[in-house]
Amino acid sequence: MVIISIGLLLLLGALDQTIVSTALPTITADLGGLEHLSWVVTAYILSATVVAPLYGKLGDLYGRRNTVFVSVGLFLVGSILCGAAINMTYLILARAIQGFGGGGLFVLALSVVGDVIPAKDRGKVQGVFAAVFSVSSVIGPLMGGWFVDVFSWHWIFFINIPLGLIAVLGFAASFKPTGKRTSHAIDWSGAVTLSVALAALTLVTALGGRSFPWISVEIIGLSALASISALAFIRIERRAAEPILPLNLFRLNVFWVTCVIGLIAGAAMFGAITFMPLYLQIAQGASPTMSGLLLIPMTVGILLSSIGSGRYMAKTGKYRILPLLGMSALILGMLLLSRLQPDTSLTVFSLSLATVGFGMGFIFPVITTSVQNAVPREQMGTATAAGLMFRQIGGSLAVAVFGAMFSARLAASLGDRIPTGDSGGMEIGPQMLAGLPDMAKAMIGQAVVDALSPIYLLAAALAFCGLLVSFLLQEVKLVNRQVPPQHE
């Protein structure tokens, strides 16, 4: 029952990400602001990133149960606000609130697995959870496209309400409290300085060279703020009684290497997922529902490799070869995606996307399982949160950078030929394209392809760096520890 309820929590978080991706072109066409498209994703990832370590620490100190309730509650409030959004600014702010809750879903769910499942069997369970994510990447785009085609995009957020209530009720029934209470010191100073550093860094990557020149006062100020906050965070963590991110964890090879791998893989993953619906709906003219169906090959790749890697870890107790295979597949997949054209055949597109999914499925189960096996049990939640935090940082920075690259290149190609709405933002979506002549559709489709190609080349270069780092990973044989009592 614990595993089922945790699977539902993971489904809730994963479904939200995949539902939104397919509806993004329609959302930006409705609210205006194609140039702000990446912020609908970045706002969620960034807020989820900055609170992830705090959720991990609170889970370690006070237990997972009540912390899960807080996380789900914030997520559902954010979902309601997103569904009620009337302009792009409102939606981006609501997505940030949603992320403050969503940041705890993955961290707490994976930490609970560490509480109730022996280390050698965790790979198998992580493989099942990766399969849950894969299923959501089929259901999400299909549901998102269906809601957009039949109702409106607002319902992609409202659907979280019944799912969230079912997940949290199942968790409350299966994960019983211990009744124990212990007083702890929370590293609030560390949490604040880390949050400021990450937020400032993301703003630099998103705004630099686009909204503001690189040598402008705004970008220099944000860069200085990020640097000062990072140095302050390190200084605070060295002295904190119970640091939010213990620096001694970075002495462990498995921890720091998997953090770097997660950072790179997260950048590649979010880059692929966020911008693929734009290619399908604008360059190839697919409907929102059809674009969801066309993402299935990536799901199949993730499903096969994640389940296979989980079984391999359970059988052998080893994992080092898996990220090497995953990064190699990711390099190949991203290079293939960089060659997409408006007339690319369905077979070539499907194989390219499946290759990317195959690489992801090899990487992510290893990151969590190897770290939970290598760190002391009292730091398991903190270490799990840190690994996810680096993956989210990679995604947040990548979506910000990729979004800036995309909108700049698209604007350079089309200029004032792109329709704009009352908000002054670019409006390119399926409904707008339907009313254009074939020549205009072809021009816009080619411009979108040309703007996306360097994004996937950059993602391939990042994956190559990840492959080099993966060679440094040490093998610590997975062993079965005694399963401790459940947390409150």
Query: CB–CB of 255/371 below 8 Å?
Result: yes
Q: Are the CB atoms for 115 and 64 separated by under 8 Å? A: yes
Q: How many helices (H) and strands (E) does the chain have?
A: 17, 0
Buried b / exposed e across 180-207, counting CB within 10 Å, b at 16+?
eeeeeeebebbbbbbbbbbbbbbbbbbb
Where the chain has pLDDT below 50, the residues are 180-182, 420-426, 481-488
Structure tokens at 438: 């074939």
**pLDDT value of residue 232:** 92
CA end-to-end span of the chain, whole Å? 16
What is the pLDDT at residue 334? 92
Distance CA 19, CA 86 (A): 19
- b vs e for 303-328, b when ≥16 Cβ sit within 10 Å of the residue's Cβ? bbbbbbbbebbbeebebebbbbbbbb
Q: What is the pLDDT of residue 396?
A: 72
Reply yes or no on domain 2-175+244-470 having CATH 1.20.1250.20: yes
**E strand spans, 425-468:** none
What is the signed CA dihedral for 319, 325, 328, 333, rounded to 10 degrees?
Answer: -120
Q: What is the pLDDT of residue 10?
A: 76
**Distance from CA of residue 335 to its chain's centroid?**
21
CA–CA dist 123, 367 (Å, integer) = 10
Q: Are 426 and 34 in contact (CB under 8 A)?
A: yes
**Which residues have a Cβ under 8 Å from the Cβ of 248 and sit 6 or more positions away?**
none
Q: Please tell me the predicted confidence (pLDDT) of residue 336.
A: 92
Residue-range domain boundaries for the chain: 2-175+244-470, 187-243
